[in-house]
Amino acid sequence: MSERTSKAEQILDAAEKMARIGGYHGFSFREIAKDVGIKAASVHYHFPGKQDLGAAIAKRYTERFLESLGAPDDPGAAPTELLQRYIAAYRRSLVEDKLMCLCGMFGAEITHLPDKVARETQIFFERNRDWLMTVIMRAGKKKKADAEKAAFSILATLEGAMILARTLDDPAAFDAVAQTLALE
Amino acid sequence: MSERTSKAEQILDAAEKMARIGGYHGFSFREIAKDVGIKAASVHYHFPGKQDLGAAIAKRYTERFLESLGAPDDPGAAPTELLQRYIAAYRRSLVEDKLMCLCGMFGAEITHLPDKVARETQIFFERNRDWLMTVIMRAGKKKKADAEKAAFSILATLEGAMILARTLDDPAAFDAVAQTLALE
DNA sequence: GTCTATAATTTGATAGAC
DNA sequence: GTCTATCAAATTATAGAC
């Protein structure tokens, strides 16, 4: 009878939560171990170094995030609906999780991150850009270059809106910003 | 013959630069001391605790930033020009300094900051909101509530654009996002 | 103002027993 | 897989001499 979540997953859960509060320096092997109910040395068995753990949470975060969005070319979902879903994903992170976007956090400190972690963070932004571009090009008459600009704009605006709303402790500020996004 | 910049200012300079790379945990008394050519204990003479130093760099950053923008109600500057100047201030930070916005960085880790530092970070966002609202209301027929939304949108978008451009190591991504800002 | 010395804590990491 | 034991390094901070 194994538990529903493996120890490695529990470690990832704890590390992700801490990193989404305090960034790359916001999680430590000791704190994670305490959270999961093992010793710090045992965490190293699952993830040899901090870089590995950092890269792993960024990778899992990216995969889960995109998975939650669904396919950008799903014929059953209208482009406008997909963009609303995209905004809702950020809003959920802010309002329900009450946590910063992991890769927005890592992105802010990108030049201070170990290579492995920085690369996974880049991938989050690249894959988000691609997802948005696909949706935007489906929606409209935009050329590829313009679709990329629009994708960058939505991505940047939502990451910034999270920071703004969290700093002012005012979720309404997020909604105010999201409303200004042109979605056609 | 005293030097042009006091020791306290040199300390602030070093701390700000480090914080704009690695966040609140990105600067330490030892590293700062090494940078300005004194010992770590001497830094405590100028700034008793890390909180004090953190709050001081956020406060100075805010004052300098707003000073560089000029008065939002300056009759000699058109609102559109002021907004272009606002965008240019972020761009300078990204391209010339090659550093993140200090308060964007602190904002991302806001729930992990000591109270004093968090409060100064909030003030940055509030004063930026107010500056932008003044300019926006001068420019157009917007009601106050709509002006606040527009202000939040510009602020959030530029902070997010910095993160995006730094993560992708592509300043053009910043410009692409800035272009999408509606400035009338 | 700056120093030496030192304290107390935390960190990432490894060796080796079980 | 998890543990104990241990390490070297870094951290914030203070006391007291100069």
Strand C contact residues in chain B (34-73), C-beta within 7 Å: 37-42, 45-46
Q: What is the pLDDT of residue B63?
A: 98
Which residues of chain A does B97 touch, with a Cβ-Cβ cutoff of 8 Å? none
Q: What is the pLDDT of residue A182?
A: 76
- In the structure, how far is the CA atom of residue A118 from the C1' atom of nucleotide C15, in angstroms? 31
Across the range B79-104, mean pLDDT stands at 98
Q: For strand D, is any atom closer than 7 Å to the CB of B40?
A: yes
Q: Which nt is closest to the CA of A8, judged by C1'?
A: D1
- In the structure, how far is the CA atom of residue B50 from the C1' atom of nucleotide D13, in angstroms? 10
Q: What is the pLDDT of residue A133?
A: 97
Across the range B61-72, mean pLDDT stands at 98
Q: What is the pLDDT of residue A184?
A: 59
Q: Which nt is closest to the CA of A37, judged by C1'?
A: D2
CA distance B6 to chain A (A): 28
Contact (CB, 8 A) for B104 and B162: yes
Q: What is the pLDDT of residue A114?
A: 98
pLDDT in 10s for each residue of chain A, 184 residues = 456 899 999 999 999 999 999 999 999 999 999 999 999 999 999 999 999 999 999 999 999 999 999 999 999 999 999 999 999 999 999 999 999 999 999 999 999 999 999 999 999 999 999 999 999 999 987 899 999 999 999 999 999 999 999 999 999 999 999 999 976 5
Record: fold of A51-179: Tetracycline Repressor; domain 2 (1.10.357)
**How many C-beta atoms lie closer than 10 Å to residue A53's C-beta?**
25
pLDDT of B32 higher than 90 = yes
pLDDT of B184 higher than 70 = no
Residue B23 to residue B144: CA distance in whole angstroms: 34
Contact (CB, 8 A) for A104 and A162: yes
pTM for this prediction:
0.97
Q: With 0-12 CB in 10 A as exposed, 13-18 as middle and 19+ as buried, what is A118?
A: buried
Q: What is the pLDDT of residue B104?
A: 98
Give Cα separations from A92 to A3, A50, A70, A88 (angstroms): 27, 28, 16, 6
pLDDT of B1 higher than 60 = no
Place of tokens 């690369």: A119
Which residues of chain A does B164 touch, with a Cβ-Cβ cutoff of 8 Å? 107, 125, 152, 155-156, 159
Beta-carbon pairs below 8 A across chains A and B:
150
Compare CB distances from A150 to B100, B110, B180 and report the shortest one's residue: B180
**CATH fourth-level superfamily of B50-179:** Tetracycline Repressor, domain 2 (1.10.357.10)
Question: Of all residues in chain A, what percent are helix, strand and coil, respectively (each to 5)?
Answer: 75, 0, 25
